[in-house]
Amino acid sequence: MSDETTVIEADDAALLPGTPEERADEVAHGLSAIPPEEVPLLPGELSAHPSPFQYVMIAVVLCVITALEVGMYYLEGEISDGLLVALLLVSALVKFVLVAGWYMHLRTDRPIFRRFFIMGGVAAIILYMIILTTLHAFA
């Protein structure tokens, strides 16, 4: 065993991910140009997370649904209350699923996370629907 220590000249740029061309491309394009499949997976992740562009697209969809929801609010009296409530609840559910699936990565992570979250959500809905019905909240 040699007790010699190899001393090398370290170039800071060499420690950065990707080639200099890829980094220049990333700077030029704003959002990261590194493909999602090249990013190391996080614990519990089965496949790569969505790309920044997909995240932005999801945000656009969320904004459109929110705008539709607010528009629906002003339809009160124009359409039946039952239909209005159903449309609002479906819109909220779609937004909920989009955020949980894409932003919280339940689509691409291990199913165990999805099961825990659905278990909590469904348990809450069942429990409180029973309580509200018992107390005639919908009467």
Partner 1 sequence: MSEATLPELAEAVEHEIGLHQHAATNTGTTNTKLGMWVFLSSECLFFGGFISAYLLYRDRNVSGPKPREVYDIPFTSVTSFILLMSSLTMVLALAAIQRGDHRRFRIWILATALFGSVFIGGQIYEFTEFYREGLALSTNVFGSSFFVLTGLHGAHVTAGIVWLLTLWGMSMQNRLHVQDSERVEIGGLYWHFVDVVWIVIFTVVYLIPT
Within residues 43-102, the interface with partner 1 by CB under 8 A covers 43-44, 49-52, 55-56, 58-59, 62-63, 66, 69-70, 72-73, 76, 81, 84-85, 88-89, 91-92, 95-96, 99-100, 102
Q: How many residues bind partner 1 (CB under 8 A)?
A: 68
Q: Are 51 and 36 in contact (CB under 8 A)?
A: yes
Residue 36: closest CA among 85, 124, 95, 107: 107
**What are the two backbone dihedrals, phi and then psi, of residue 10, each rounded to the nearest 5 degrees?**
-100, 125
Within residues 96-115, the interface with partner 1 by CB under 8 A covers 96, 99-100, 102-105, 110, 112-113
The residues pairing with 19 across neighbouring beta strands, listed in sequence order, are none
Q: Are 102 and 94 in contact (CB under 8 A)?
A: no
**In angstroms, what CA-CA distances link 116 with 32, 94, 120, 121, 122?**
32, 19, 6, 9, 10
For partner 1, the binding residues (CB under 8 A) are 5-12, 15-17, 26, 31-32, 34, 39-40, 42-44, 49-52, 55-56, 58-59, 62-63, 66, 69-70, 72-73, 76, 81, 84-85, 88-89, 91-92, 95-96, 99-100, 102-105, 110, 112-113, 116-117, 119-121, 123-125, 127-128, 131-132, 135, 137
